[in-house]
Structure 1
Amino acid sequence: MIRLSNPYGSLGKINKKQGIIPVIIDNIISKNTIHIWGDGENIRDYIHIDDAIEAFFAVDRYDGEYKIFNVGTGKGYTLNQIISIIIKELNCEMPTIKFEEARKCDVRKNILDISLLNKCTGWRPQI
């Protein structure tokens, strides 16, 4: 079984409003306000889709006993950090950000421990 973190990459459609990274990119390019629930300091583990696919292949090749594998990077980034990284990569100006009231359902920090996957398959994220 695989527990996947937050994937991003070339398969993400910026106009589909799904996945925070494509949504942020779309809003920056369109010069729209970015709406964030809370203060932007929630931490998530983001994994590139190419790394996720390689992890799926590694799990498929694994022939040991049943386990639950976390697929992520083991590193966390806040939304504020993600916005800064995207702005730097796109060489754009800082967009308007509107911080909305935090939702009770949002987890403050979610970073996956990928050590079991690495131990059993040798897989590590490359991007």
Structure 2
Amino acid sequence: MTRSLVIGGNGFIGSHLADKLTSMGRDVTVFDRFSHGIQNYNSRNVRQRVGDFLNVDDLRNAVKGQDEVFHFLSVTTPATAHSDPLLDIRVNTGQSVELFSACASAGVGMLYFASTGGAIYGENSAPKVSEHNPTSPKSPYAISKLSLEHYLEYFRLTRDLDYRIFRISNPYGPRQNPIKPQGLIPIVLRQILEGNPIQKFGDGSMIRDYIYVSDLVDMISTTLNVPSNHRVYNVGSGVGKSINEVLATVRQVTGSDLSIEYRPSPPTYVRRVVLDTTRFHSDFGAFQAISLDEGVARTWQSIRESAKAR
């Protein structure tokens, strides 16, 4: 049985990934702080390893005996990294390198890394960006992700640590923390539920590629134990939606009139990012993602149920 460690496995994507890996028959361990005593994943057959990503000894102990490690934790968000780039370097870049080193020393067979497809390419005139497009990150968050991609190649060349990188678009869905300043869809839905105005940055024409979290982990799971000639993959829906289109969908799903407060777009915002997932589908097969309407409806239902449970 494959022993799988999910770093950040109690978080948004990590908890869904832990559930998926367990359903595939893997021996799953979740590494997280569990700071609020809440378990976000549903699977019972999961080992909890309480630890701090900023503690090197915790990382070294966690990776021992693991066949594969999924690095799906980020201590900062794009907003906090923008506010304090040095903090992002210390706690994300530095500690991730510590994790890579620990994995190499422990003989981990494969490391899977959650990078960013929504920001790593920067401004690009192409209708869709592929892995062949140049990377030109504008934000500290994306700069850190690209740096870590290069560090993974360094550890492969020098210490035989194999890896696969997922450049993920804009994931959304249940378990995403709407309190954090990241994720347009859950933030907007939470504001509607609480009767608060929605902050809209710019004129609403900014386009992103949104992928529902269950589709995301299903796509990732299809790559496991499948050999390929590539180590970097775009993972997204391949469909671009503007902020205005997302808000129209939210309005339709919730049946709510939106009270909007307009804000200027931050200087690090990229106008358009839609991922070309041709490489992924060529190597791992076709995948049909659910529509934005359906994904928003499921997310809205989950947020309302969570609010009632409090």
Q: Compute the TM-score of the two structures, normalised by the length of structure 1.
A: 0.91
Spell out the pairing of 1:1-127 with structure 2 (5 A cutoff). Answer: 1-92=165-256, 94-127=257-290
What is the Cα deviation at residue 61 of structure 1?
Answer: 3.3
Q: Identify which range, 63-72 or 1-10, moves more after superposition.
A: 63-72
What is the Cα deviation at residue 14 of structure 1?
Answer: 3.0
- For the residue of structure 2 that corresponds to 1:60, the secondary structure is coil
User: What's the RMSD between the two structures over aligned residues?
Assistant: 1.4
Deviation >4 Å, runs of 4+: none
The letter for the 2-side match of 1:109 is R
Between structures 1 and 2, the one with greater helix share: 2
Does structure 1 retain, via aligned residues, the 8 Å contact 2:211–2:289?
no
Does structure 1 retain, via aligned residues, the 8 Å contact 2:236–2:277?
yes
Q: Determine which structure has greater relative contact order: mean sequence separation of CA pairs < 8 Å that are 6+ residues apart, divided by chain length.
A: 1
What is the CA–CA distance in structure 2 between the aligned matches of 1:57 and 1:124, rounded to whole Å?
12
Structure of greater Rg = 2
Name stretches of at least 5 consecutive residues in structure 1 with no aligned partner.
Answer: none
- For the residue of structure 2 that corresponds to 1:120, the secondary structure is helix
Q: Number of residues paired by the alignment?
A: 126
Q: Percent identity?
A: 29
What is the CA–CA distance in structure 1 between the aligned matches of 2:167 and 2:218, rounded to whole Å?
14
Name stretches of at least 5 consecutive residues in structure 2 with no aligned partner.
Answer: 1-164, 291-310
What is the CA–CA distance in structure 2 between the aligned matches of 1:60 and 1:5, rounded to whole Å?
19
What is the Cα deviation at residue 17 of structure 1?
Answer: 4.3
Q: Compute the TM-score of the two structures, normalised by the length of structure 2.
A: 0.39
